[in-house]
Amino acid sequence: MGNLIPVVVALGAVALAYTLFTNPLSKIPGPLSARFSRIWMVQHSRAGDMHTTMIELHKKYGKLVRTAPNEVSISDPAAIKTIYGAGSKFRKSGWYSVWQGHRTFDLFGERDEKVHGKQRRLVSNIYSLDQLKKMEPYVDSTLTLFLERLGEVGKKGAVDMGKWAQMFAFDVIGEVTFSRRFGFLAAGKDDGSFSAINSALHSAAWIGQTPWLYWLHDFFMPYIGNYLGVNNRNGSLRQFAARECDERKGRGSDHHDMLRALMDVKEQKPEEFDDNGVLSMAASNIFAGSDTTGISIGAVLYNLCKNPTCKEKLLKEIGEVMQNEGLSPMENIPFKVGHAMPYLQACIYEALRMHPAVGMSLPRVVPQEGFEIEGVFLPAGTIIGANPWVIHRQKEIFGEDCDVFRPERWLKGDRSQMDRNFFAFGSGSRTCIGRNLSWIEMTKLVPSLLMRFDIELAHPKDKPEQHCWWFVKREGLDMKLTPYIQKIDSPVLA
């Protein structure tokens, strides 16, 4: 035993010397502990502060930050095209395997670009703007219920807008996908799914940093149970999706919802798209499309409340549009009308720039030939990624005042650079497939809500708490709602 100690010490010294001096990543600055193990990543992913921590680290160290022995975070917008652009050879890292699990059809988690490309082509038309515009009546019916319910609960006191926006987004997804809401708005609460999803997100965020742990846990799960909680995403909402798919198989449908469109693809291409594919897409609508949209709606409303001048400007635009279009405050704004409102659109872009729903790096693997960036050669297999929160705070792209909410930046001058680097929905071949749906929802909800109610933060001096477990959620977004009908000085009714 005594003879082993010097051997272990010597091996340790060699490993340390390699990590500190010879490893090609040793030139890249970053937190000291991140050079030796992935514990730094695990700690911050668990703590839920990755979005703000990475902004600070890039301010301190520059365009490259080493976040683990073989992982680098980048803030260089020029590299985004190479890493994420169409035809990129940088595939998704093992982090995503934790989300994919054993599913063979999983657009978000699939790491083989060829398989992904084939699968995405099967369904992409369903998510095109032209197809999704046909879903507007489904969004409208849920929006009408949302506004009615806010009128009722708003009378009793402050409304947790983060939670109500989340319930709206879930019910819309239920309606457009299955022609059936989850019933959260009607009940004024969820069925326990939100905390199950939160716990799945929390565990996946950090376990994804050590995927081997997930697969070990997966192997032992029949004996130890779902100890890490990652698979909680297979809870009541996935069962809801599975039940709806099963029922639909039996009876078909005259509803032109997304499930019907997915089943049409299955009928046309049964070899490539089977029942698993249908369920996977229907369930991913729920998991990828609800929290994200709820968070983004919350971000628009929060920033408008925090910046009353912007809110007034938007109200003026809404008032003019209502007059020109002959709309009553009791109607919902049609998407076509909202889409043509420049200030509204600028407010949505700016809120998603300030608060992108995803707050962690979108990790990719350096391909066989390696990758040179900022004079450093990254060997094949290095994990590299950009965090939307970091990219959106780049002064050379978004301006010196990029820490401030200023929708006007999207309206004046050439915005092509900002558009190219708008990273809230990712980029390239793996960009968000549901972006159009969430844009329809936001474009309709924000002005329709502001036409009916004056909104204010209930506790303007408090900073709402945020935690980043992949998604960055704001807690306690309490707002006071005053129906305009009670206000004689309403800017929209003036």
Instruction: Output 196 or 352, the one with its CB closest to ligand HEM.
Output: 352
Task: Candidates 28, 64, 65, 107: give the one binding ligand HEM (CB under 6 A).
Answer: 107
Task: Candidates 105, 426, 444, 451: give the one binding ligand HEM (CB under 6 A).
Answer: 426
The contacts found for 478-481 with CB under 8 angstroms, 24 or more apart, are 478/158, 478/159, 478/160, 478/161, 479/158, 479/159, 479/161, 479/301, 479/305, 479/455, 480/154, 480/158, 480/159, 480/455, 480/456, 481/150, 481/151, 481/154, 481/159, 481/453, 481/454, 481/455
DSSP for 29-93 reads ---GGGGT-THHHHHHHHHT-HHHHHHHHHHHH-SEEEEETTEEEE--HHHHHHHHSTT---EE-
Question: Of 12-20, 389-397, 428-436, 479-487, which part binds ligand HEM (CB under 6 A)?
Answer: 428-436
> Could you tell me how many residues of this chain bind ligand HEM (CB under 6 A)?
22
Instruction: Output 337 or 432, the one with its CB closest to ligand HEM.
Output: 432
Does 288 help bind ligand HEM (rule: CB under 6 A)? yes
* Secondary structure of 295-315 as H, E, C letters: HHHHHHHHHHHHCHHHHHHHH
Instruction: Output 45 or 292, the one with its CB closest to ligand HEM.
Output: 292
Does 97 help bind ligand HEM (rule: CB under 6 A)? no
Does 433 help bind ligand HEM (rule: CB under 6 A)? yes
Instruction: Output 235 or 426, the one with its CB closest to ligand HEM.
Output: 426
Contacting ligand HEM within 435-454 (CB under 6 A): 437-438
- In angstroms, how far is CA 418 from the centroid of its own chain? 19
Question: Of 221-229, 238-246, 292-300, 398-406, which part binds ligand HEM (CB under 6 A)?
Answer: 292-300
Question: What type of residue sits at position 23?
Answer: N
Task: Candidates 69, 77, 162, 434: give the one binding ligand HEM (CB under 6 A).
Answer: 434
DSSP for 253-286 reads -S--SHHHHHHHHHHH-TTTS-HHHHHHHHHHHH
CB of 474 to ligand HEM, least distance (A): 14
Do the beta carbons of residue 458 and residue 436 sit within 8 Å? no
Question: What type of residue sits at position 408?
Answer: E
430, 464, 279: which is closest to 358 by C-alpha? 430
Alpha carbon distance 334, 343 (integer Å): 16
CB of 62 to ligand HEM, least distance (A): 24
For the window 362-391, what string marks contact with ligand HEM as x by the rule CB under 6 A?
x-----------------------------
Does 293 help bind ligand HEM (rule: CB under 6 A)? yes
Contacting ligand HEM within 326-365 (CB under 6 A): 357-358, 362
Give the residue nearest to ligand HEM (CB): 434
CB of 329 to ligand HEM, least distance (A): 26
User: Which stretches of the chain bind ligand HEM, using CB under 6 A?
Assistant: 107-108, 120, 284-285, 288-289, 292-293, 296, 357-358, 362, 424-426, 430, 432-434, 437-438
